[in-house]
A and B are shown apart, each in its own frame.
Chain A
């Protein structure tokens, strides 16, 4: 990794040979920068990625993004979920799951808190969008696109309200309280008349625009524009999550995950940052919910069951907790598999439930582990160290903390 990054003046051919050997064996010396645990093909792939020059990374990114945008148009034969399920709609569903997984990854992957009721925030977002746009609702109405930021805000506030009593305590309490909340929100939707129980809200709003044929561009059955909207939001959220990761916020979260007491002793206001992580996750969940409500066009109390929360957790775990790219892939896979392989759709809960246990027992870092980058300008420092440091002996990798 380090040695292929531009000119690397190595003292003597012997050293460069040694470096090449280590390179070949895939064992990256801690003495050079960016020590990374061995992590299979994804780890190697992500190392290769990091070693690329900036421009090349951007190039690849643009190609990937363009392909992602073109997917519903190309409708590639093997990937396609048709004829069982409309492919653009399946893509939308994958993007929404990915978005939810990226949000949940902030809570589970970064801060190490277990949120088992993520669907509740998704529901809060959905209801916010529905109740402020559907003609069935007695409230004032606003344009659909405005409900997206509002859904973030409302979900964020609910997150704070729920987080404050529980986050002062050990993580287990958060898990059970969120699990309960995921169920309670459904019961409340049944009990509170304004939320209209099973009758729900029809004709939830959509973004403006009419096609030439007089059908709205964002018709419920027209998956492609909805997918593009969701994908765009997903990309923005990924950028912002990356910004947070490489800041004192991200560092505080990881520090809390690694050792909460030590983090507090190092001056990290742990409670505050836990509430932030939980609330931010909630906000992203609310946004995903608002998107979902818009596309489906109908919201009632049957749409949000606790099991979906566990599917979100499975998406994060599958992708490798703490890895936002992994979360995107995990979310997409969890949504994709039942839509593509309709024969096993019935077994999806069993499959992903079992996957949770098996992954935790045999590979708790997830399928795609990757370490967070926590410094905005870390690459400069590491590159500097790489250039000047003599090749240090391979680190003694003994005790795990």
Chain B
């Protein structure tokens, strides 16, 4: 279809322009901004990857787990008096407020993840349902939550909130890096390192890896599979909650009933890019996808291209290297 359209296009069309000069000019700002988005993708991607590793299931409802976190951030900050213009607060007060919002988001997301697992997936596991049934349930759960929010909040995005005005911190290659970018990237990376270490070193982490590798043997060896699965969902929820705070920080007008959908697909693409089931792969894939998306956006001239670029990346990865860049599964990652 696309190709027929392309060949039949009038010669003067400029709908797809490879604006290389613009990319060169904005290369570093695109890079830093891309890394910021990438960090958010990575946090969400980790939720997909962990559940996929343990259950071999794409948890389509994870995008709603994420968006519930966004709503929690929105309501908490609204309650605390944040509005469209930047709050007139000291830095300490802002940090405190954001921490409150973070906790609210984590609770909301983790609770959603827990409920989805309990209400939708567990009954299926009990009767050993085929894969197709899991997938349909997953998409049904995602859809249900989305339209519950829709009925509650309506079709429009929530009004934008400004958490703080990003201040320039330092300059690299002639490009200013602001406090917002630093907060998001540093916090996300720290969280992912914590999760990585948790999975590698803790007792529960060993359990997660054991279940990912071979659920039956793990059960025989005394691992409580059900508990591990719930834990995995909750960890994914916690990370999605954190991602929600950063997402609302970065895109204040992004809180909308279906706002998780595209981000969910991008995050999944990131997980596949890095190697699904692989914790470090999720980080790598997220950052890469953030960069590719941003470069693509500038190169092609519209922000909507990021979605198309992410999708094309997903298909190309599946075509060329379906196991992703880092490849190894959750179960095989070394202790």
Please tell me whether chains A and B touch each other in their complex, using a CB distance cut-off of 8 A: yes
A residues contacting B by CB (< 8 A) are 108, 112, 114, 116, 124, 127-128, 138-139, 154, 157-158, 162, 164-166, 168-169, 171-173, 175-177, 179-181, 183-184, 187-188, 190-195, 257, 306-307, 310, 313-314, 317, 321, 346-347, 349-350, 352-357, 360-361, 364
B residues contacting A by CB (< 8 A) are 1-2, 4-5, 8-10, 13, 15-16, 56-58, 60, 120, 123-124, 129-133, 135-137, 139-141, 143-144, 146-148, 150-151, 261-262, 265, 268-269, 272, 302, 304-305, 307-308, 311, 314-316, 318-319, 322
A165 and B15 form a contact (CB under 8 A): no
> In whole angstroms, how far apart are the Cα atoms of A349 and B146 in the complex?
9
B315 and A354 form a contact (CB under 8 A): no
Which of B1, B56, B262, B272: most chain A Cβ within 10 A? B1
State which of A138, A352, A357 has its C-beta within 8 Å of the C-beta of B141: A357
B139 and A177 form a contact (CB under 8 A): no
A124 and B315 form a contact (CB under 8 A): no
> In whole angstroms, how far apart are the Cα atoms of A172 and B272 in the complex?
12
Which of B9, B10, B124, B133: most chain A Cβ within 10 A? B133
Which of A171, A187, A314: most chain B Cβ within 10 A? A187
Q: Of all chain A residues, which has the CB nearest B307? A: A187
A184 and B307 form a contact (CB under 8 A): yes
State which of A127, A139, A347 has its C-beta within 8 Å of the C-beta of B1: A127
Residues of A with C-beta under 8 A to B148:
350
State which of A171, A349, A357 has its C-beta within 8 Å of the C-beta of B132: A171
Instruction: Given A166-B318, A169-B322, decide whether A194 and B5 contact each other with a Cβ distance below 8 A.
Output: yes
A177 and B318 form a contact (CB under 8 A): yes
Between-chain CB contacts (< 8 Å), 17 pairs: A124-B1, A169-B322, A180-B265, A180-B269, A184-B308, A193-B9, A307-B143, A347-B151, A349-B150, A350-B150, A353-B140, A353-B141, A353-B147, A356-B139, A356-B140, A364-B129, A364-B130
> In whole angstroms, how far apart are the Cα atoms of A353 and B131 in the complex?
18
B140 and A192 form a contact (CB under 8 A): no
Which of B144, B268, B308, B311: most chain A Cβ within 10 A? B144
> In whole angstroms, how far apart are the Cα atoms of A168 and B323 in the complex?
12
> In whole angstroms, how far apart are the Cα atoms of A317 and B311 in the complex?
27
B314 and A349 form a contact (CB under 8 A): no
State which of A184, A187, A188, A194 has its C-beta within 8 Å of the C-beta of B13: A194
> In whole angstroms, how far apart are the Cα atoms of A192 and B8 in the complex?
12
Instruction: Given A165-B315, A180-B311, A361-B124, decide whether A175 and B135 contact each other with a Cβ distance below 8 A.
Output: yes
> In whole angstroms, how far apart are the Cα atoms of A181 and B2 in the complex?
13
